[in-house]
Chains A and B, each alone.
Chain A
Amino acid sequence: MSNTHGEQLSTGTVAHGGGAEANFPPFDGATFPSQLLWLAITFGFFYFLMAKVVLPRIGGILEDRRDRIAGDMAEASRLKQETDAAIASYEQALADARRHAGKLASDARDKAKSESEVARNKAEEELTAKLSMAEERIEKIKRESMDQVGEIAADTTGELVKALIGGRTPAKAVVSKAVDAALK
């Protein structure tokens, strides 16, 4: 403390009420060097501490938190994608199973249908064959009987002719021809 300042202070304590304006502390240049020196020391130390320790530390904390949150968000979206994929594959499997089941059912139905069709066709064929055989036999019998009818008619006619006109029996060929013509 300079001498002049010390004097002002020592006199100031006595006559303070009156002489305060002459000694307004903020404008007292004698205190400036001391304040500047200590401000430089304290603020310089504070600046150094902020720049080297505190701010990197807080910045690191904030960055860690940002990274952590971003990482968690990425993880969450990855898990969500996995869930979606699992749901999609489940849906797919379900749809496949449905389709497969439907196919099996329709295959079985088709098979049963075609088997019954085959059996029916076979039965029909057999029936048709039997029918045609029966028809053929009827036809044959009919034809044979018709032939026999012609013969019988010719014989009868020959006998009738012999009985009517007497004499000998007419030639069989002639009679048959006449009977056929009459039958037609």
Chain B
Amino acid sequence: MAGNPEKAIDPIHQFHINDIISLNIAGIDFSFTNAALFMVVTVAVAALFLLLSTNRRGLVPSRMQLLAEMSYEFVASTLRGAAGNDGMRFFPLVFSLFMFVFVANLLGLVPYFYTVTSQIIVTFALAMLVIGTVTVYGFFKHGFGFLKLFVPSGVPAGVIPLVSAIEVISFLSRPVSLSVRLFANMLAGHITLKVFAGFVVMLTASASALGIGAAIMPLALTVALTALEFLVAFLQAYVFTVLTCMYLADALHPSH
């Protein structure tokens, strides 16, 4: 498959999902695919890193343990800053989301690896997990008081219907914006990388001195874009985490 020149330059090909183990339950396709494989790889890499680096429980941390502690304190301070100390009850969820998205984004940058977060269904499921947690916990904790979220205090009674409508729409659009932001960033980044890398392949395939010389430009751009994609991989994981924390803060303190 890799030898096929058509596929080598097709920027969409990298997102194709192929069965590894076919599995069909009640007429629905639940096959173990390459996407599922890289979900497993993501979880395995993240979990093994966190488990092995903290294995010694060193009072003076090793470099790897320091990285694990830094990720812990980074997420903890983000959550505490957005949702206060009450928010720490959601810490395992927020930390898991951050690590999963971050490691999935990073692994996607390895050549031939599948990018789990480039699938809208995956990011949407994670976003719905967040919004579902916010909604369920909000109603569980505050009952109908949670609806105060849609009625900002200090707004004149006349415009409350309008403001509330806007608040409801903004609340409903949260899972969409949360999931599309991550998905689109990953998708666009990988397509761009593939397109410019494809130019290198096409120009060198022309086998003329001019073509090979001109291939240096897209090659340089590919290198630069790869560096940018590492930044995006972290940034999108961070943005996802920060927004998650802010939405969770709404569940804890619905009256603004």
Q: What residues on B are CB-neighbors of A25 within 8 Å?
A: 12, 15-17, 119
Chain-A contact segment, one of B47-55, B141-149, B224-232: B47-55
Give Cα distance in the complex from A25 to B223, angstroms. 26
B95, A17: Cβ atoms closer than 8 Å = no
Q: What residues on A are CB-neighbors of B91 within 8 Å?
A: 55
B54, A51: Cβ atoms closer than 8 Å = no
Which residues 131-180 of A sit at the B interface, judged by CB distance below 8 A? none
B30, A37: Cβ atoms closer than 8 Å = yes
A55, B92: Cβ atoms closer than 8 Å = yes
Contact of B33 among A31, A50, A51 (CB under 8 A): A31
A43, B95: Cβ atoms closer than 8 Å = no
Distance between B130 CB and nearest chain A CB, rounded to angstroms: 12
Give Cα distance in the complex from A65 to B73, angstroms. 14
- Does any Cβ of A come within 8 Å of B69's Cβ? yes
- Does any Cβ of A come within 8 Å of B172's Cβ? no
Most A CB within 10 A of own CB, among B15, B33, B50, B121? B121
Chain-B contact segment, one of A56-64, A101-109, A122-130: A56-64
Q: How large is the interface on A (under 10, 10 to 19, 20 to 34, 35 or more residues)?
A: 35 or more
B30, A33: Cβ atoms closer than 8 Å = yes
Contact of A30 among B29, B65, B118 (CB under 8 A): B29
* Total residue contacts A-B, CB cutoff 8 A: 138
- Does any Cβ of B come within 8 Å of A34's Cβ? yes
- Does any Cβ of B come within 8 Å of A42's Cβ? yes
Residue in chain A with minimal CB distance to B186 = A26
Render B2-16 as a binary contact track against A, CB cut-off 8 A, 1 for contact. 000011001011011
Residue in chain A with minimal CB distance to B58 = A61
Q: What residues on A are CB-neighbors of B118 within 8 Å?
A: 26
Give Cα distance in the complex from A47 to B99, angstroms. 10
Q: What residues on A are CB-neighbors of B216 within 8 Å?
A: none
- Does any Cβ of B come within 8 Å of A68's Cβ? yes
B13, A16: Cβ atoms closer than 8 Å = yes
Give Cα distance in the complex from A49 to B48, angstroms. 10
- Does any Cβ of A come within 8 Å of B22's Cβ? yes
Q: What residues on B are CB-neighbors of A53 within 8 Å?
A: 51
- Does any Cβ of B come within 8 Å of A54's Cβ? yes
- Does any Cβ of A come within 8 Å of B42's Cβ? yes
Contact of A42 among B42, B51, B54, B183 (CB under 8 A): B42
Residue in chain A with minimal CB distance to B42 = A42
Contact of A58 among B18, B24, B40, B69 (CB under 8 A): B69
Which residues 11-38 of A sit at the B interface, judged by CB distance below 8 A? 16-17, 20, 24-28, 30-38
- Does any Cβ of B come within 8 Å of A5's Cβ? yes
Contact of B15 among A26, A45, A50, A59 (CB under 8 A): A26
- Does any Cβ of A come within 8 Å of B19's Cβ? yes
Distance between A133 CB and nearest chain B CB, rounded to angstroms: 100
Distance between A7 CB and nearest chain B CB, rounded to angstroms: 13
Q: What residues on B are CB-neighbors of A90 within 8 Å?
A: none
Which residues 59-84 of A sit at the B interface, judged by CB distance below 8 A? 59-62, 64-65, 68
B120, A34: Cβ atoms closer than 8 Å = no
Give Cα distance in the complex from A34 to B21, angstroms. 11
Contact of A1 among B22, B46, B73, B183 (CB under 8 A): B22
Give Cα distance in the complex from A16 to B6, angstroms. 8
Give Cα distance in the complex from A61 to B65, angstroms. 10
Distance between B56 CB and nearest chain A CB, rounded to angstroms: 9
A17, B47: Cβ atoms closer than 8 Å = no
Given contacts A24-B12, A43-B96, A50-B95, contact A57 B33 (CB under 8 A): no
B10, A20: Cβ atoms closer than 8 Å = yes
Give Cα distance in the complex from A5 to B17, angstroms. 10
Query: What are 9 inter-chain pairs, A to B, with CB distance below 8 A?
Result: A25-B16, A25-B119, A26-B118, A34-B31, A38-B35, A43-B126, A46-B96, A50-B92, A54-B50
Interface of B toward A, CB cutoff 8 Å: 6-7, 10, 12-13, 15-19, 22-24, 28-33, 35-36, 39-40, 42-43, 46-47, 50-51, 54, 57-59, 61, 65, 68-69, 72-73, 91-93, 95-96, 99-100, 118-122, 125-126, 183, 187
